[in-house]
Amino acid sequence: MSHTWGDSSMATNGSAPLVFRLHENTPEVVREVLLERGWEEYDPHEQVEGDWNLYWRTSAFRNFEYENILPWQRLNHHPKMTRIARKDYLARNLRRMRGTYGAALYGFSPTAFILPNDYIKFLEVYTKTRVENAGKPGYWICKPVDLSRGRGIFIFDDIKHLAYNSHVIVQKYISNPLLISGYKFDLRIYVCVKSFCPLTIYMHQEGLVRFATEKYNLASLDNLFSHLTNTSINKFGPFYTTDKERVGQGCKWTLSKFRSFLHSQGINELLLWQKINNIVTLTLLTMASSIPSSPNCLELFGFDILIDSNLKPWLLEVNYSPALSLDCPADIVVKKGVINDLIDLMNYRKVDGLRQRGCLRRRHKRTCCLGSPSSQRKSLAAFLIPKSVSGKKRQRQSSLNSLHAENLVCPSVERSVNSLGSTLHPACQNSKTIIVSGNKKKSPLQVEGPTCWSELEESFEDHRDIIRRCSSHACRLPAIHAPKYKPPRFSWDQGTHEMTTPSLRVGDFILTFPFNEATWKASQDTLDVKTVLHEVHQLMSQLTFSCVHKEKRRKENNDSSAAIKNKFASLLWGPRNPPLLSEYCSSKSSCPLEMSYKG
């Protein structure tokens, strides 16, 4: 796998290198990948608090860290992600959507009960199932709501074996999984949500297939090596290192190897991938509208998908901060590629390497004189913080506190006008002196070299909101008691960060939502869930019809632009070489709808 990284050349072409900051317990592979890309690691003893470009942590960020994010910074988490990552929250949200829009769309998750609250409901369903099966056991799986890596999970067929001392979720156990040479497996799909407002979803072409290390057997429900696919459990199994039939050593394949297996079995994978794609989109829709807008944040999820013997995919879990440890060659190939492509999705620019120094000095030859020397020092100190600060950390913090203690007022820059109110005459554009309105008086802005208005205007326009809001926001001390989440204080350029059409593909990340112009419009401002569900439903129906009448559809769809407008020539996630959706769907075609939902 070959990649060309957008930021790897920054340090070699004269630009400042990007800086990453890692929280404790961050997987070592993250540091390794960033250093390979030419980044530098943040040193809290040599650099000031905001002098970094990426802050990566496995746990959630605090509210004020979202509120104070700056244009050159990125965070690897969106706020309020427990609404989808905790098993009980996920089950509750999916249950709500199933009740609202029907099981035809939201029937991809096993029946679930949150105990102890739902114990009476579970007991009723358990009894009914046993009666309907003429006394034959039904299979259930119990999971603690807030644990990961397979801890605390057990399977049972008799309620007398159900014992718990914390909140748990009990789900119907999928007892007919698709097997490979008798071994159970599931898929780890890596999903990146670049934005929740508007909703923007990317799915990675590469992923992991995780196997149980002993053959599947319902007669031994207590054998975790037969029923669970978690690597953290199976790597301690007695057959982990043995060469298992078709599976091989260890317990993992890459998704590419799984594609080859499907092809060798003559399985039509097109619908399978699209069903998995729908599961991801529909799951994220359950909570997308409740997540606050957080510019310069993204989220990497690990979706665990089980495929049953009927080739129906089921959602098992959604993992927040999926494991990035490197336990085998498949991990190295997949996880390093995911991290590299994730960094590329963050859209770093050369100016981001300047961090604070780039806010007011971008494209300037040297620091401008704004008003008196004292006002110049006050106005620029808040932004022009050097990367390395000499002296002791206590002295540096004391000086910063003194700056915050003063009621700093940033001057505003105005273009000189003539008596008629028109802008500066083009003949004066090569002048080295322009007029700037300071706090109470005007003084010349000295610029070295023949700087013209077109150059200065672009810089001032880029940072006009920073200067205007400096006195009311950038120089305030944070509140002692952290309030509920608030939008970032920086005035973001909505046209740049929210309204632009997302990239079709970034590395091996494929854009899966929005997938056409209707879903793109429906995701702007307030998320229109009904419209999105209608489009997902229609796309799946068209794909189903196209797969049944594949040759006929190909002849009818000579013009691929008829299906998807040029603005969204979307790719179909999943296949080795993702085709255009327009090759399989046509908006002009009429096809039977095999699903229905409550509109």
In this predicted structure, which of 153-157, 463-467, 492-496, 531-535 has the lowest mean pLDDT? 492-496
- Tally the C-alpha atoms within 13 A of residue 16's C-alpha that lie toward its C-beta: 19
Report pTM. 0.75
Query: Whole-number mean pLDDT of the chain?
Result: 76
What pLDDT was estimated at residue 191? Answer: 97
What pLDDT was estimated at residue 357? Answer: 66
CA-CA distance, 277 to 204, in Å (whole number)?
A: 11
Separation of CA 83 from chain center: 15
β-bridge partners, 535 = none
Query: Model confidence over 363-383: pLDDT tens digits?
Result: 333 333 333 334 333 333 344
Tell me what the mean pLDDT of segment 484-501 comes to.
49
CA-CA distance, 17 to 536, in Å (whole number)?
A: 42
Three-state DSSP class for residue 194: strand
Q: Dihedral through CA 76, CA 80, CA 85, CA 90, nearest 10?
A: -150
Query: Model confidence over 239-266: pLDDT tens digits?
Result: 999 999 999 999 999 999 999 999 888 8
What pLDDT was estimated at residue 82? Answer: 83
User: Can you state the angle between helices 529-548 and 269-285, rounded to 10 degrees?
Assistant: 170
Query: Model confidence over 410-443: pLDDT tens digits?
Result: 333 333 334 333 344 444 344 443 333 444 433 3
Residue 238 pLDDT > 60, yes or no?
yes
CA-CA distance, 194 to 401, in Å (whole number)?
A: 35
Residue 564 pLDDT > 80, yes or no?
no
H-helix segments, 293-429: 329-345, 357-361, 373-381, 393-405
